[in-house]
A and B are shown apart, each in its own frame.
Chain A
Amino acid sequence: MSGTNAWLPLAVLATSLVAAVGIFLLREHRHGLRTVFNLTAALLKLALVVWMALGVLDGMHYELRHSLFEGIDFVLRADMLGMMFAGLSSLLWLFTTIYAIGYLENAPNRSRFFGFFSLCVASTVGIALAGNLFTFFLFYELLTLSTYPLVVHRGTEKALRAGRIYLIYTLGGGAVLLLGLALLASLVGEPAFDAGATVQALEDVDPTLLTTIFVLLVAGLGVKAALIPLHGWLPTAMVAPAPVSALLHAVAVVKAGAFGIARVVYDVYGIEFAWQLGLLEPLAWLACATILFGSIRALAQTDLKRRLAFSTVSQVSYVILGIALFGPVGTAGGLVHLLHQGLMKITLFFCAGNYAETLGVHRIDELDGAGRRMPATSVAFTVGAFGMIGVPPLAGFVTKWYLGIGALDAGMAWVVAVLIASSLLNAAYFLPILHRIWFRPQRGEWPDEQYKQHRDTHPLLLAPALVTAGFSVGAGLLAGMPFSPLYWAEVVILREYLP
């Protein structure tokens, strides 16, 4: 079966856009209707994405093209890599929405929150479906705009400060990206995703210029991907409500950065050309530095969410490391981690949010004995943490295994050392938490206990955490099965990067 369908990508985009507009227009107190909007849109989007993903596997061609100016088109297209990201975000959006409905029960400003929430997901899916770098940039900036109100949602002095820092970083990054993009466009016209064909066809262009453009693009994207030294916004943005953190860390923002780097390396420059230009090895170094730096900083954090934030800094760079490794196995490791990290990190944030919401616990040393009060949440947290450390057979292990092999293939054996060191560090900052949860007795009253009637916590908060934890177990256990993340990553590589 093969053919062309222009409207399906637009429909996927429209589901959350329409939901966003609808939610904005709702009066604050229409909670029921809003929930209906949210869930319908999330389910519809997931269904459409799955349908489209299956179509792409079958060789269907989905593309929508609209001319913006002379020589620049707005392109929505479904390809393997994009569908992978779209699938991740729409799946996790569903869970995050359910979680957020539970989390924000009785909180003010829900219309605004869910409106921007939907807008944020619309931008993420737009990023996934963007058919050229220009379109990618459109949605990349839209993502910045739609996440700002979420970051400052609480409206406290701290939240506003975090919002300001977030904006300075992301808008600055956007400007750098725009500069790179504009330079690229002035050379090639439309910066298409064609595995580097256009860029390589440039005959008389100084390689230094191409390198400069690459650096600008990666620097612009690296802000969202939290590469050092551009990671500063991520820990401060932790003041946002837990579903927002989940969104920032697992579904949308940092992933958009990592995904963008993947697009630049694979689709704009082409991995071979990028390798020839000698761009990949510095990127790998940067990724490794970020991995170690994030882990070391995470060790020193006493606030649970901040520790998770630094963990994200570290973990996202696995993706970038995988991208920078020249060779199919390393690439597979990077791409699969895009999904794995999302599943694991969202689980951890859901759990952190549950602790905060149910027990009022924010600091790690307050967690003593939480396992007894909230066993299910704690099991989910444990799964996530073990996954992060890379304990077999969980998802994180698969990633690290592939990355290690890929590094050896690419002739960068030192990466293995980094991976081992990072795993040890992961263990060093996660195991003490697990120890406190499970093996320490409770110390006095919880700071602010809610949901006393529940055995664990509110079911709307608990269920998403358990499901995502389950997924991350499944992703590791069933890595060899069809439609697992690994399978998908391999398909991407086989179809698109290995002719």
Chain B
Amino acid sequence: MSTALFHACIGILLCTMGLFAFIVHRHLLRRLLAFNVMGSGCFLLLVGLAQDGRGPDPVPQALVLTGIVVAVASTALALVIFRRWYRVSGEGQLPEDV
């Protein structure tokens, strides 16, 4: 198993853990953590799978860079919305989940 493939497998594991946590947790911060872990796993899978046995590939690496910025923008936006929501409701989770 090449390094790349090994890390791709780690990526799958991270995705799985993230998905599990995303479904299980209700607190929004935890769900965002889960989302970010899942995202990292997904990026690992993307690069690892592409580089397995072929050496570095700039295309998926560039995609992941794009993906990281998108992820941080989404997370930051989610946090802004969450804080605004917490400010008016005092709740850490969404109403129907309570």
A and B touch in the complex (CB under 8 A): no
B interface residues, Cβ below 8 angstroms from A: none
A residues within 8 Å of B by Cβ?
none
